[in-house]
Structure 1
Amino acid sequence: MSKLLPPNSTQLERNITEVAAKNCELPVEIKTLASIDNAPDSFLSFLAWQYSVDSWDNSWQPSLQRSLIKKSFRQHQIKGTRQAVREVLSQFGYQCIFHEWFETNPVGTPGTFTLELNLNGFELTEETYVEVNRLVKDAKPASRHLTNLLINVQPVCLPRIAIGCHGAETVTIYVE
């Protein structure tokens, strides 16, 4: 580190540089910090800032945080398109159908769109609903305005078996 000092540096400057070099040593290599897969979990928020991740929460699982950092470049490439809205909502496991004003019958108000959101059996909490609206607002084309959000709740029903006993008989009921 002292090689960065000019040749005419004072002894005090050299001493300060030497002490600072000892106190500023990183516990891991810089290569590790720059790697999304190898960076410590506590450093992911800095990588998110570096890669311009639009949506971030420190309480999310590190695996989700790493995934969002990796997808950030792609999100910025397609931002402002239907595909961006689809990909943002697919992170929650949802599918969406995007209807622009000129695709509706009768033709809607110019510059507007409606969104049909299929939950695919996943839960939609109030917090998730707020997050979905925020993400759609960030990803949608800037010239378009959401006029209607239709949410399709189609629970995924798995066959369930209820077994009950009545005396010596066993009754099995299949619920679909």
Structure 2
Amino acid sequence: MSRSLLPSNATPLERALETVIASAHGRLAPEVIATLWNPATCPVDLLPWLAWACSVDEWDDAWPEATRRRVIADSYSVHAVKGTVGAVKRALASLGYDTRLIEWPDDEPPAEPYTFRLEVDVFGQPITSHTYTEIERTALAAKNVRSHLTGIRAVGRVDAAVYAGAFVIGGTGGTVLPWTPSEITVSGPSYAGAAVSMVSTLTVHPAREGA
């Protein structure tokens, strides 16, 4: 009696998965399987396989984890409008690029028919030959077959706080002289007083004899 729960027409891949799960002896929790198709919860080691399943056109294992998850999450919206200007912008936005696409009739002067060029703002990272290669591959994978990419202009931008400071120095000069009292004026009534002292002197002599 077969212990397999798969139907007789199961594919080799399905039977291989059944074997792997059975050999795990319960160590493969069902809740882990439920996370595999979600770019936000899929284990980081399995992200390349999820990207392949979601038909991600451009992939680099060297990208930060947040970028890899964002590229997978945006893959559906890119494929929904693939071959349009919006698809090119969305694909590059997933990599962190702010893109302006100039088609041939909007260029100054007008360019060759059915051509376009890109002006890309690169935030917070250096611009290298790898940057141009990544932008080119991503744009070519998302554009329509008729249009031809003729140029890429990448501009590095850094967001940072700018601090401005200013100070003012001011002063006054003065001369310090020795202290001199100011004149004091007192007003009020004036009173005058006087006294006279008189002294009389009397001399008494002895009486003379025979007088």
Match of 2:23 in 1: 23
1:72-113 deviation line (CA, Å, top 9, x unaligned): 111101221111222222234432222212223433211111
Change (3 A) 1:69 1:145: same
Residues 123 and 156, structure 2, Cα contact 8 Å, conserved in 1: yes
Residues 54 and 72, structure 2, Cα contact 8 Å, conserved in 1: yes
Q: How much is the aligned-residue C-alpha RMSD, in angstroms?
A: 3.1
1:50-83 deviation line (CA, Å, top 9, x unaligned): 1111122233333322222211111101221111
SS at match of 2:139: helix
Unpaired segments of 5 or more residues in structure 2? 8-18, 166-211
1:102-129 deviation line (CA, Å, top 9, x unaligned): 2234332111112222335642122222
- CA distance in 2 between counterparts of 1:138 and 1:78 reads 12
Mapping of residues 85-104 of structure 1, within 5 Å: 85-104=88-107
- CA distance in 2 between counterparts of 1:36 and 1:73 reads 12
Match of 1:75 in 2: 78
SS at match of 1:58: coil
- How many residues were matched structurally? 150
SS at match of 2:36: helix
SS at match of 2:29: coil
Change (3 A) 1:138 1:41: same
Match of 2:60 in 1: 57
Unpaired segments of 5 or more residues in structure 1? 7-18, 163-176
Provide the TM-score with structure 1 as the length reference: 0.67
Among candidates 90, 114, 132, match of residue 135 of structure 2:
132
Provide the TM-score with structure 2 as the length reference: 0.58
> Structure 1 or 2: larger strand share?
1
Bigger CA drift: 142-151 or 27-36?
27-36
Q: Does 1:123 align with 2:126?
A: yes
